[in-house]
Amino acid sequence: MTNWDRFLDSFFNLRVAAEYLPKIIEGFWLTILLAGCIILAGIAAGLALAVVRSFAIRPLNWLIIFLVDLFRALPPLVIIALLYFGLPAAGLSLSGFAAAWLSLSLVLMAFTEEIFWAGITAVPKGQWEAARSTGLRFFQTLTLVVLPQALRMTIPPLTNRTIAITKGTALASVVAVPDILGAAQAGVSFSFNPTPLTLGAIAYVVLFFPVVILGRWVETRFAWKR
């Protein structure tokens, strides 16, 4: 067997591929499910926090700022470990899926709040004043005048963050979630062949390559004018 044959036999072994492809596909859907749940919860929570912050209630704002800083400073895997391995010590246990979902949602929430808040503060004061002077109430001004302007500005950074954080779903494999990476690793240890990993890598590229391209497009489409 030449080196090349050996390489193919290791990384592109068709027999192993056929055997583990179904598992990888299951993992693929699980990854998508997890990512979707994270995006929904994280962005909703982040937006809610940003809106609450615009009410300018001092102690509440300090709490929000602290939460945001906390989840920007902590590595996601540390949060996952704390929830998954730590909570049982206090008699409470979360599934791996729930731990990964909660952790990454909190991280996305923090970044989302930060980005939305920056967007809101970037809308000039004159916009608030003009809207209020026409008789719009605070909440109307926020939702009808300020947020639409702020959201547009936040689209590029938010897209990039969301992509980066949803890629973190791979961390769920560390807490025994059979997502793409989890399924691939299990496959490798059963078959003693790295082909499942190759499949896993391909699955991630299939999943995220279009997303990265989308991010590129969004960045130029909604670019800030300098």
Q: Which residues of 81-97 are buried (b: 16+ CB within 10 A; e: fewer)?
A: bebbeeeeeeeeebebb
- The DSSP element (H or E) to which 29 belongs, if any, is helix 14-54
CB of 206 to other proteins, least distance (A): 9
User: CB-wise, 56 or 92, nearer to other proteins?
Assistant: 92
CB of 2 to other proteins, least distance (A): 13
Whole-angstrom distance between the N-terminal and C-terminal Cα of the chain?
59
**Residue at token pair 């949803």:** 166
Measured distance CA(122)–CA(103) in Å, rounded: 29
Instruction: State whether residue 4 is helix, strand or coil.
Output: helix
Q: Are 163 and 176 in contact (CB under 8 A)?
A: no
Neighbours of 121 (CB within 10 A): 14
CB of 132 to other proteins, least distance (A): 20
User: CB-wise, 43 or 168, nearer to other proteins?
Assistant: 168
CB of 4 to other proteins, least distance (A): 11
Residues at the contact surface with other proteins, assessed by CB under 8 A: 6-7, 10-11, 68-70, 72-79, 81-82, 85-87, 89-92, 114, 118-119, 121-122, 124, 153, 163-164, 167-171, 173-174, 180-181, 184-185, 188, 193-194, 197-198, 200-201, 204-205, 207-209, 211-213, 216, 224-226
Backbone torsion region of residue 176, taken as left when φ is above 0, otherwise alpha when ψ lies between -120 and 50, otherwise beta: left
CB of 45 to other proteins, least distance (A): 18
User: CB-wise, 1 or 135, nearer to other proteins?
Assistant: 1
User: CB-wise, 128 or 208, nearer to other proteins?
Assistant: 208
CB of 65 to other proteins, least distance (A): 8
Q: Are 199 and 21 in contact (CB under 8 A)?
A: yes
Angle between helix axes 195-221 and 180-191 (nearest 10 degrees) is 160
Tokens of 33: 């499910």
